[in-house]
Each structure stands twice: as structure tokens, then as C-alpha cells.
Amino acid sequence: MQDLEIVGQVIAGDIANILVREKSGKKLELGDLLVAEEGDSRLLILKVYGLVYGSQVPQLAREMASGLKLEGLGAGLDYFEPHLRNYVIAEVKAIAQVINNKARIPKSLPTFFSAIRHIKKEDLAFLTKPDNPIFFGNVRSGSKVLDVPVFLNGSDVFTHHVLIPATTGRGKSNLVKVLLWNALGSGGKFGILVLDPHDEYYGRHGKGLKDHPSAKQDLVYFSTTPVKAANTLVINLQSIKPWYFDGIVRFTDAQNDAIDQYYNAFNDTWIENVIRDTPLPNGVTIAPRTLGVLRRKFDSVLGIYLDDADQLQCRSKIFSDNSGETTMQDIINSLEAGKIVVIDTSRLLDQAELLIGSIIVGDIFSRYQKYKSDGRLNDKPVISIVIEEAPRVLGTNVLESSGDNIYNTIAREGRKFKVGLTAITQLTSVIPKTVLTNINTKIILGNEMSVERRAVMDSASQDLSDEDRTIASLDKGEAIISSSFVKFAIPIQIPLIDEIIAEDNEPQNSPKRRVVG
């Protein structure tokens, strides 16, 4: 190791907390990746998770020295050799041991007093590009970005679910855009459904997924107010089965009973007949009050009602009794063809958005279950459902009060059928641990709420118990990938989508650097 490279030296500690004295002027940062060389082809990768002051000068003497300065009595006085006597001690932890370019979980301490340097690109040569690669960002050491792209196997990652926990303004949307951008043009490997409550991914008003070179073939956009070449989001009421409401809309036993009676009697037109108050055959009667409440619920959730001319109307124009017959098929077929389907739900109420998701997800899940039983699943692309504000369907309260829903079912069983969730949330703590532990990849962005950080750390695939301050200090676009598909929690810098779009649309560039395949 060259003298110039040295940034510190191991001076004490234990396996969980190695103390490194910082070389003066080197300014180590939280999250910095450091290296202790252990001989030929062996090195330990260390991560800084704490920084404290150290001093050879006793506390009382420092207080007095400070007093002299502050009170104007220290003219001409200063610390002699301040770089030797006052310094910073970094608390670090070994996160990987690399032997002959292979990473493994470290089980030993670096040599006592060994010199420490910053990590270099060559040290991370073991981070190779897997099959079905999805680009997440570049390895980050503190706030320094290395020229080391991080790819994970998209098939593994998406089927085993992804959690993106962060508070507002830490780069969630940009991250999702980057993931979707890189999944586009996968050659049909990933079908991703995006329920987009802010209509921000397609790029209606600016740059977005529509600008991807493969968008024409592989991107499908549905909206109630479609732009040119987009699809109108109209769902025929006959597509809606009673069980799609499970866990989304709460019904009483009497209401559920009424729904069953109408579905049995009228099959796919059951909703229309509830709205029209059509009498049930065979003298079966439903209390008028129950039916009245059901109609009000359908009005508030779906926005449907009868107008003065006795015609069925939908306030949001999304649900219809006479159009949109092929919408669900179109969406599901697109997903099955490995396309990205973005559904603009910005004009929908919460429950309507979730219901639409529930309809699509329920159908695709049923199809994939069938493919598995038919032995055809291997030929199908991986499906991922991007769901914003995930606690709306995966929150403890929701699951306890409304029971299971299709999202929860996928969280538990989806991986067997190549269907996964990409859940985005600010409130990880309200998602049950049983669900969180099933989510094998977490892309952790900054979060100032300690309860939320704790929930993420407790369910991470690696031991992140010392990363609390690091996660709190993550700046916009900085993230940590904790996944069962990586050897250690990798700090990354997620590039800005606008830069990627600009770069990939330069005539001489193809987007192959970041895209799959």
C-alpha cells in the first residue's frame, strides 16, 4: 500500500466495532468503504458506521483551551501538533472478505495496526454482471461514487419481492424510474405492472419511460385521459369479480351475502344488477337497507350510479357496462409478453386504484398458477407489481381488519409462481414482519424516522444493526441494497433518470450499458 493511499490505521476494537484512527486531512465519511490488505489476493472490506473525536489532550485541558479562545485570552496560543493530538476515530465493521476475487462473509479481524485505504474499483472485481441483469446504481463509498455498476439478477430480485423504504424527497420515484428504465427492453424477461397514482413514470409532461428506445415495443400506458398512442383506461364492470374486493373494501356479512346472491344469480353482470336493484330470482330477497349501502359503496369506490334516465354512469369514466371489455385482457397479455404496463391511477380514489390492481394481479396470478400446473411457467417472464404506499394493502391494520388480499397472497406465495411485488413505502413499521421477511431485496433510501429505520434494519438480509446513523444520513439518490442475492449490503448511488435518458438517447449510444440482456 502506498503511503499516499493510507487514510487510517487499525488501533483497537472487536469484531463488531473496529476502531481506525483517521489520518489527518483524510476526512472519512459515514458509509465509506475502506480496505485492509491482508496479503496477496486477500483483503477485508470495511465500512464506516460511526465517527468520533479522539484526543491525547484530557477533557479538562480541552475545555480550558476552548475557554481561552472563546473568551479572547488565547492570543498567540494554539494547539501544537494538532494533527497528532486531536483526531477522528472511525468505527468500522468488516463487511466482506475477498480472497482471490471471491467475496465471503468475514470471520476475522484485520491485522492489528494495519494500514487502511479507500476502496478501489479493482477491489470489487467480484461484483460481476449476473444473468438477467438489472442495473441499480454505482457502488458508493460515503458520498464518493465508484465506477463500479451494481447489477442483480432481475429474475431473482423481482420474484423474491423488492421493498423501497424511504421518506419523501429521498429519491424513491427516481429509483423506480431507473429500475423500470433498465427493465424496459429486456427482451420479454420482465412484465411489470405499475400502478402510478401520480402519473409520473410514463412522462406525460416531460421525460419518462416513453423516451426509452424500446418504449414503442415494450411500454404500454393506460390512462383515463390518454395521450397520443396510449390506451384509454376503461374497465368493463363484468371484469370485476366479488373476490377482487377482498382486503380492499370492507363488507359486512350481510353485504357479502348479498354480493354472493347477486353473483350467483347474474354472474358477470352482478354489479350492474345490484346498482339497478334487480330482484333476485326464486323469491330470494335482500334487505333494502343492505342493498342501499352496497350501492353507496360501489358509488364511492367505483364512482358508478344510475342517472335520471336509468343509465349506468361512472364519474371517473373508468368503469363501464358497455365498453372496456378487452382492457383487462390487454393488460394481462402485455405483462405476459414481458412488457411494462403503466396505469395512470391519478384520477382514482385509493380503493378504486387498489381494486384495479387487485383485478389485474388476481388474474395474472391465477394464470401463472395455471402455467405452473401445466409445466409452462419457465417459459413465462417474471411479473412484478409496483405498488405505491404499500401499507394500504400490506399494513398490519388492513390485513387484520379486512383480511387477506391478493397482494398479501403474492407476498407470501408469489415467488413460487414468478410473481413478485415491488413495494414502496414511507412506513415500513406498519408492514407485518412476516411480510417483510418475505421481501428479500430492500433498496434502503434515507429515512429520518428511527422507528422506520429500525423496522428496515430488523428485516434486512444482512446485519444492518450498526447502520442506523448511516441510513439516517443517506442523501437523495444514495441507497443501500440489502438482499439475499448479494454478499454484503452494498451502498449505491442511483443515477438521475434524466441523465440516463439523455445518455441513452444520444445517437451514438445504445442503452445496453444499463439495460438487461
Partner 1 sequence: MLPDLTRITADLIRDLDEKINELALGEPHFSNVLRKYPFKKENFRPVLQERAIEGHTTSKLAFIDGGNGEILGAPNFSIQFNRICYCLFKGKERIQKSKDTIDRIEFLSCTYSSFRNKEIYYDTITYPLSSTFQNLLPSESDLSFDSSDRSIMDGRERADIRRVASIARRFAEWSFAAYVAQKELEKSDAIVMDGTLHAAFTHESAYAKKLYEATTEAGITVTGVAKTSRLFTDTGLSLIGAVQKFAEDCKLAFGSWYLPIAEVADMDHQAMIFVTKLNQQAKHVFRYEIQRDQHNALTLKEIDNIFFMLAENSRDITFAGYPFGCAVADSYGRVSEHDLEYYRALVMGEAGKQGNWPKFSRHIQSVDAHEILNSLVGL
Q: Output the smallest distance, CB 75 to partner 1, in A.
A: 8
Does 3 participate in binding partner 1 (rule CB under 8 A)?
Answer: no
Identify residues 303-362 at the interface with partner 1 (CB under 8 A): none
Does 70 participate in binding partner 1 (rule CB under 8 A)?
Answer: no
Q: For residue 8, what are the CA distances in angstroms to 15, 16, 23, 88? A: 18, 18, 5, 10
Are 104 and 96 within 8 A, CB to CB? Answer: yes
Pick from 311, 272, 275, 281: nearest CA to 295: 275
Pick from 144, 145, 149, 109: nearest CA to 125: 149
Among 38, 79, 153, 498, binds partner 1 (CB under 8 A): 79
Pick from 410, 456, 464: nearest CA to 430: 456
Q: Output the smallest distance, CB 61 to partner 1, in A.
A: 4
Q: For residue 46, what are the CA distances in angstroms to 16, 42, 97, 483? A: 11, 13, 9, 18
Q: Which is nearer to partner 1, 87 or 371 (CB)?
A: 87
DSSP designation for 237 = G
Q: Which is nearer to partner 1, 56 or 311 (CB)?
A: 56
d(CA 336, CA 376): 12
Does 4 participate in binding partner 1 (rule CB under 8 A)?
Answer: no
Amino acid code (one letter) for 400: E
Among 76, 283, 288, 507, binds partner 1 (CB under 8 A): 76
Segment interacting with partner 1 (CB under 8 A) among 72-80, 134-142, 472-480, 485-493: 72-80
186 backbone dihedrals φ, ψ, rounded to 5°: -80, 0
Among 11, 16, 68, 227, binds partner 1 (CB under 8 A): 68
Does 15 participate in binding partner 1 (rule CB under 8 A)?
Answer: no
d(CA 13, CA 186): 47
Q: Which is nearer to partner 1, 68 or 105 (CB)?
A: 68
Rg, C-alpha atoms of the chain: 28
Q: Output the smallest distance, CB 6 to partner 1, in A.
A: 18
Contacts 24+ apart (CB under 8 A), 35-40: 35/116, 35/117, 35/118, 35/119, 35/120, 35/123, 36/10, 36/110, 36/111, 36/114, 36/115, 36/116, 37/1, 37/114, 37/115, 37/117, 38/97, 38/110, 38/111, 38/114
Torsion of CA 386, 302, 362, 241, to 10 degrees: 180
Does 229 participate in binding partner 1 (rule CB under 8 A)?
Answer: no
Does 54 participate in binding partner 1 (rule CB under 8 A)?
Answer: no
Q: Which is nearer to partner 1, 66 or 311 (CB)?
A: 66
Does 88 participate in binding partner 1 (rule CB under 8 A)?
Answer: no
Q: Output the smallest distance, CB 59 to partner 1, in A.
A: 11
Segment interacting with partner 1 (CB under 8 A) among 54-62, 193-201, 429-437, 458-466: 54-62
Among 6, 57, 145, 254, binds partner 1 (CB under 8 A): 57
- Pairing mode, strands 133-141 and 490-493: antiparallel
C-alpha cell at 470: 448511516
# residues near partner 1 by CB under 8 A: 16
Pick from 160, 193, 194, 208: nearest CA to 437: 160
Segment interacting with partner 1 (CB under 8 A) among 66-74, 438-446, 461-469, 504-512: 66-74
Segment interacting with partner 1 (CB under 8 A) among 62-70, 124-132, 174-182, 281-289: 62-70
Does 372 participate in binding partner 1 (rule CB under 8 A)?
Answer: no
Does 109 participate in binding partner 1 (rule CB under 8 A)?
Answer: no
Q: Output the smallest distance, CB 175 to partner 1, in A.
A: 49
Q: Output the smallest distance, CB 73 to partner 1, in A.
A: 6
DSSP designation for 159 = H
Q: Output the smallest distance, CB 85 to partner 1, in A.
A: 8
d(CA 478, CA 476): 6
493 backbone dihedrals φ, ψ, rounded to 5°: -115, 120
| Residues in contact with 216: Cβ distance below 8 Å, sequence separation at least 6, in sequence order | none
Does 253 participate in binding partner 1 (rule CB under 8 A)?
Answer: no
Q: Which is nearer to partner 1, 63 or 325 (CB)?
A: 63
Among 3, 81, 122, 400, binds partner 1 (CB under 8 A): 81
Q: Which is nearer to partner 1, 69 or 372 (CB)?
A: 69
Helix (H, G, I), strand (E, B) or coil at 365: helix
d(CA 428, CA 503): 34
Among 65, 254, 427, 430, binds partner 1 (CB under 8 A): 65
Q: Which is nearer to partner 1, 65 or 306 (CB)?
A: 65
Does 12 participate in binding partner 1 (rule CB under 8 A)?
Answer: no
Among 3, 40, 78, 310, binds partner 1 (CB under 8 A): 78
Q: Which is nearer to partner 1, 69 or 317 (CB)?
A: 69
Site of interaction with partner 1 (CB under 8 A): 57, 61-62, 64-65, 68-69, 73-81
